[in-house]
Amino acid sequence: MSATIQVEAVSKRYERTREGGATEQFAALDDVHLTVPDHEFVSFIGPSGCGKTTLLRIIDGLIAPDAGRVLIDGHPVSGPGPERAMVFQNFALMPWATVLENVAFGLEARGIPRREREAIAARYIQQVGLKKFAHAYPPALSGGMQQRVGLARALAVEPKILLMDEPFASVDAQTRYLLQEELIAVWQRQRQTVLFVTHSMEEAVFLSDRVVIMEPSPGRVAEVLEVPIARPRVADEVRRAPAFVELSNYIWQRLRQTIRAREEAATGAAAGAD
């Protein structure tokens, strides 16, 4: 179960307030083109503000682009749909509901009877290793466990496309490694199309078939890189592999240039016309 995503000439402008109160338009995304074929795992990396979240929200149908369009298996996106599910950085769980209820929640909207909902939810809770915690409440769980619930909730609706916006940014480094390995094990079985936003070069390379480097002002695709590492990937081997180290370093060099250029532009603007 997966789908092809085509992003065609997508632009999105927002208004921002300048010092002194005047407003101006700026391009959060400018003429973004990208095709993600069936079954592909693609990561997006780039400095804060380069439009990663905006792009994911447009693909999810939560906001509309000002220009361009997104096609899923050839059909234009005009709003959220059952073939897409989002996993958020802050988990976005209902604290008053059990793990089981949280995971089953999206199924209720689809009119699936309660018994069946709970059976499906239980299956995905088991897949993410939380069987013992099905009747616990999210606040009692660690960050890593809460994000496993977030993943199970997204998987439970059996989406063709998983949209993941910095899903592991709120957990500690070791937990993050574990979650990466668990995610890739789940994906290896089901091969949804995945769009994954991260700030970590290593995470992007370890998980992905391709890495999209984005740059800000205006938000654009700067470069798309293939990850030449075979699957299935064994974490401890991959993280030592020359191709892994080289590609992670290359992405860092690219990002460093972008960040430097932006700092210089901002400093230049602040210093005035000289």
Ligand X SMILES: Nc1ncnc2c1ncn2[C@@H]1O[C@H](COP(=O)(O)OP(=O)(O)O)[C@@H](O)[C@H]1O
What does the alpha-carbon distance between residue 114 and residue 147 come to, in Å, rounded to a whole number?
A: 24
Residue with smaller CB distance to ligand X, 41 or 44:
44
Q: What are phi and psi of 165, to 5 degrees?
A: -105, 100
Q: Indicate the angle between helix axes 114-127 and 143-156, nearest 10 degrees.
A: 130
Residue 53 interacts with Mg ion (CB under 5 A): yes or no:
yes
Contact flag: residue 17 with ligand X (CB under 6 A): no
Nearest CB to ligand X, comparing residues 159 and 219: 219
- Measure the CA–CA gap between 35 and 12, rounded to whole angstroms: 18
Q: Say if residue 270 is exposed, middle or buried (CB neighbours under 10 Å; 0-12, 13-18, 19+).
A: exposed
Segment near Mg ion (CB under 5 A); pick from 52-60, 76-84, 188-196, 210-218: 52-60
Rounded Cα distance, 66 and 62, in Å = 13
Is 203 in contact with 45 (CB distance < 8 Å)?
Answer: no
Per CB under 6 A, contacts with ligand X among 18-37 are 28
In the complex, minimum distance from the CB of residue 167 to ligand X, in angstroms, rounded to a whole number: 13
What distance in Å separates the CA atoms of residue 156 and residue 85, rounded to the nearest whole number? 9
Segment (H or E) for 242 = helix 242-271
> With contacts defined by CB under 5 A, how many residues of the chain interact with Mg ion?
2
Decide: is 54 part of the binding site for ligand X (CB under 6 A): yes
Query: What distance in Å separates the CA atoms of residue 138 and residue 140, rounded to the nearest whole number?
Result: 5
- The residue (of 101 and 215) whose beta carbon lies closer to Mg ion is 215
From the list 30, 42, 45, 51, which residue makes contact with ligand X (rule: CB under 6 A)?
51
Which of 94, 93, 63 lies closest to 78, judged by CA?
Answer: 63
Per CB under 6 A, 50 contacts ligand X: yes
Cβ distance to ligand X smaller for residue 53 or 248 = 53
d(CA 173, CA 40): 25
Which residues between 211 and 250 bind ligand X (CB under 6 A)? 219
Question: Is 14 one of the binding residues for ligand X (CB under 6 A)?
Answer: yes
Structure tokens at 147: 């994000």
Pick one of ligand X, Mg ion, none as the site partner of residue 174 (Cβ within 5 to 8 A by kind). none
Applying CB under 6 A, among 2, 43, 53, 146 the residue interacting with ligand X is 53
200 binds, among ligand X, Mg ion, none (CB under 5 to 8 A by kind): none
Residue closer to Mg ion by CB (options 55, 120) is 55
Residue ranges in contact with Mg ion by CB under 5 A = 52-53
Residue ranges in contact with ligand X by CB under 6 A = 14, 28, 48-54, 219
